[in-house]
Amino acid sequence: MGKWLDVKGPILADTVYADNRLVARDVEFTLPGLNFQTATISAMGNMDVALVGLLENMELTINKVGTDEGFSNLIGLGRRVFEFRWAQTSISKNGDSKTEGVKAFVKTLPLSIPDIAVKPGDAVTTEHKYTVTRLELYVNGSEKLVVDRLNTVLRVNRINYAKDFEKYL
């Protein structure tokens, strides 16, 4: 018999906090992935390999509907600390459904203050972009990812990859 992984269903709801203030509910956001810089080596031709520890820019995007108090708490020229919370459905192998909590903590620097396009009959949607300096991701309270670019931290599933090169410095 094969092994079973719980089936992850839709996101039920989400909230976004900026500097400990609720700024949005049920919004679309994109947390950054880790894109490593690469080097090309010779191995039966050319082969690209990831340089673990050298990351491309990490960017956070939040799409906010409306120009309200939440919008004003998203804009600014200083450092921002965000907390994202969302609830997702998980279905076990016996068909039981449960709700899981996911949290992400993100430290950022602003990249811009968004345009505000106004059109009668349409809602205003703004796209907020930030450079990420620290990202933490937890699923049901269990650490999955911690990246701190300014303090040389790179942990994935609790494995500290930064220690492999830090010991030589």
Q: Residue 71: helix, strand or coil by DSSP?
A: helix
Residue 62, pLDDT > 80, answer yes
Residue 83, pLDDT > 90, answer yes
How many whole angstroms separate alpha carbon 128 and alpha carbon 13? 20
Residue 144, pLDDT > 90, answer yes
pLDDT interval class at 4 (50, 70, 90): low
How confident is the model at residue 30, as a pLDDT? Answer: 95
Q: Which domains does the chain have, with CATH numbers?
A: 11-34+55-166 (2.30.110.20)
The runs of H, that is alpha helices, within 36-95 are: 69-74
- Neighbour-count burial for 109-122, b at 16+ CB within 10 Å, e otherwise: ebeeebeeeeeeee
How many whole angstroms separate alpha carbon 167 and alpha carbon 165? 5
pLDDT tens, residue by residue, 104-135:
999 999 998 888 888 999 888 889 999 999 99
How confident is the model at residue 43, as a pLDDT? Answer: 92
pLDDT tens, residue by residue, 7-53:
888 888 999 999 999 999 999 999 999 999 999 999 999 999 999 88
